[in-house]
Amino acid sequence: MILSQTGSVSRDSVSRVHGGPDASGPVRYDFSSNANSVGANPVVVDLIRQADLIHYPDPAYQALRDGLARWHGVSPSRILMAGSASEFIFRMTSFIARQYGAEDSRLTTGQGCLNQTASVWLPEHAYGDYEAAARAWSVPRVESYEESSLLWFCDPSSPLGQPVKDLSKIVNGLIAGQIAVLDCAYEPLRLEGSLNLSADQLDRLWQMWTPNKALGMTGVRGAYVIAPLGGEHIVEILTAIAPSWLIGADGVAMLNAWMRDDVQTWLKDCLITLRQWKFQQLELCQQLGWQSIESTANFFCASSPLFKPAQYLPVLREFDIKLRDAASFGLSNHVRIAVMPPDAQQKLREAWAYFERGI
């Protein structure tokens, strides 16, 4: 069943809402971005400063791809470089639109083929660029994942920070020709549990990795994707339709550093700190009278039973605090809140007290 379809790109369809800085600039206490709030990894920062900014990177990124392949235990032919998660989202959607837009088109795999028009399945609450890309390429959204040629998952999910319900069952039910992408943006920042997929199931998915969030440096762009077994021919197509030099020297340095043992040890230590901060922040929300939704990630959603985000977000901004209105995720009257250090939590307490006094 088709829920929506666009024939042309409207102004609304390309207006996107994100956390982090906006036209008013950055804030000191930014609860709206899900980057690692412990801060940027100092080793990676130093390596980026040492990066060769005079010369082009290798346009094939061969050494980087080889290193990532060894690190993940896959063939280099399954590694695809991406400018960012958003860049890949739009590129993959364009591929689907192009593949199924051709007359009598078939997306062939080694196991068979799926013959249908282009369509996309999205979680009920999800990152807005999935749908923005579908609108830009006039790919209709469908209600049932069984009917879709392209499926997007994120585990832990955004904005809820929860495991994807029935993900294992869905992966087992994929048919030949369906492209399912697992957004791994928050897997490195998972504070509880683990991804409920086997190695064989992961080999059926496109895995999209964006280490800049976990490394606390979202200003550095650079990502990579692991194709499923048998997807190497699609990697070649996606490489052919990408512009040259997707990632600059800073992004290459970041991704190379991502694989270092000392960087991964630092990240594990960050998770311990983030768990402590999250416990304190959930207690704070309870004291403020907010209702929090259970999450396994370094962020969660909450709501005030008495006030709407439109009432209090402008006031909090006056205190240099920004929360993410979850309405853009289809979750009205909620905010998404990243786990932040104790000083930021105290500032939020003070700002909320000021807001309530003014009501």
How large is the average pLDDT for residues 244-259?
Answer: 98
Residue type, 241: I
Model confidence at 13: pLDDT above 60: no
Distance, CA of 325 to CA of 314 (rounded, Å): 11
- 16-51 residue pLDDT tens: 676 666 767 788 999 999 999 999 999 999 999 999
pLDDT given at position 285: 98
**Dihedral over Cα of 222, 266, 50, 226: its sign:** negative
The predicted pLDDT at position 20 comes to 66
pTM: 0.90
Quick check: bond before 156 cis, omega within 30? yes
Q: Is the pLDDT of residue 268 over 70?
A: yes
Q: What b/e readout covers 48-73, taking b as 16+ CB neighbours within 10 angstroms?
A: beebeeeeebeeebeebbebbbeebe
Could you read off the pLDDT of 99-113 as tens digits, one per residue? Answer: 876 433 444 433 344
pLDDT of residue 22: 72
pLDDT for 4 beyond 50: no
Average pLDDT, the chain: 91
Domains and CATH numbers, the chain: 19-34+263-358 (3.90.1150.10), 54-259 (3.40.640.10)
Question: What pLDDT is recorded for position 1?
Answer: 39
Run of H or E including 181: strand 179-183
How high is the pLDDT of residue 147?
A: 86
Report the run of H or E that residue 321 belongs to, with start and end. Answer: strand 321-322
Q: What is the DSSP letter of 25?
A: B
Q: What is the per-residue pLDDT across 203-240, written as a single tens digit (0 to 9) for each?
A: 999 999 999 999 999 999 999 999 999 999 999 999 99
- The model's confidence at residue 15, banded by pLDDT at 50, 70 and 90, is low
Q: What is the model's pLDDT at position 109?
A: 38
